[in-house]
Amino acid sequence: MKNQWKRRFILFSLIFIFILNISTPVSAENLYSQKDTVIPKGQTVENVFVLGGDATISGTVKDAVVIVNGDLNIKGSARIEGLVLVIGGEINQEQGAHISEHVLNLSFNSMTANSFLLGGALLLGIWFLRLITSLLLIILSTATVAIAKERLQPFKEMIIENPLRLVTVGIVTSLLFLALSGLLSITIVGIPIVLVLLVVLFIFLLITFSSISLIIGEWLPGSINRARWMIALGGAILVTAGINLPLLGWLLFLGVIWMTFGLMTMWLWQKRMQRKV
């Protein structure tokens, strides 16, 4: 692995040197060119860099061969002891040619360009969606705390009292919810019920996220004399930042979802028990 990274570092360093010395004449050690280049049989050079032209190699190259926006023709008598990199062109290799290292060919045709554009647009879209979702979570949770005021206190106390129990109950409830939603989605009558359940779940998600934001915000220095919405704002920013972390963020987000299911289940259960009493 170290040798591979070393070769890549040397390769890109050579490309950088080539760009800086684009007008350097041909020497016995290195060959830099912006036109079609031929290394005849019997000639030995250290490196070959060609920009905007084709290269034909019949001799020996001790190290790297880099061709940008051109084709590389490797004859049967050629010996290349280092890396071969062709960007924006094709490689034609005759039988008998000796190449010691890797051969990389990056051909930017229309299909490749479309793939890069599609991949870039997809990554940009995912990043933009995560940004909008994060901002909405921060704004909505802060607004929920400002509007609900003390009505969030029971939910906050439930989270502080036994968060592990809420997560455990939430895991079981979420599995039941997925199974029930799948069964209801099969029928036309069941689809509106699923939508109503999703709305209820979203409301409890806001309640859970807002309560967690309050709890986290109260741990921050100087939160005693601040308004509740400012405390929630600081906590929401921290929780949202944690959710956006790679790998760990997904686990944290799952924890919030499971706690939402658990909080909803326990709150509805308590309401039912109070009515019986």
Whether 192 and 268 share a structural domain: yes
- Which of 55, 74, 108 represents a domain boundary (last residue)? 108
The reported pLDDT for the residue numbered 6 is 47
What number of H helices and E strands is found in the chain?
Answer: 7, 13
Q: Which residues contact 270 (CB under 8 A, 6 or more apart)?
A: none
Does some domain include residue 117? no
Condensed to tens digits (0 to 9), the pLDDT of residues 177-188 reads 999 888 888 888
Extract the tokens encoding 93.
């290799």
Does some domain include residue 24? yes
Whether 67 and 171 share a structural domain: no
Is there a contact between 117 and 98 (Cβ–Cβ < 8 Å)? no
Is there a contact between 114 and 173 (Cβ–Cβ < 8 Å)? no
pTM above 0.75, yes or no: no
Does some domain include residue 229? yes
Whether 101 and 137 share a structural domain: no
Whether 182 and 53 share a structural domain: no
Whether 55 and 96 share a structural domain: yes
Extract the tokens encoding 189.
């009558």
Does some domain include residue 115? no
Condensed to tens digits (0 to 9), the pLDDT of residues 206-255 reads 999 999 999 888 888 877 778 888 888 988 999 999 988 888 888 999 99
The reported pLDDT for the residue numbered 109 is 59
Whether 25 and 68 share a structural domain: yes
Q: CA–CA separation, 80 vs 58, rounded Å?
A: 10
Does some domain include residue 113? no
Whether 132 and 91 share a structural domain: no
- Which of 82, 108, 134 represents a domain boundary (last residue)? 108
Residue 163 class from Cβ within 10 Å (0-12 exposed, 13-18 middle, 19+ buried)?
middle
Whether 11 and 86 share a structural domain: yes
Q: CA–CA separation, 259 vs 225, rounded Å?
A: 29
Confidence band for 23, pLDDT divided at 50, 70 and 90: very low
Q: How many domains does the chain have?
A: 2
Whether 171 and 268 share a structural domain: yes
Whether 135 and 268 share a structural domain: yes
Query: Domain limits at 26?
Result: 2-108
Does some domain include residue 78? yes
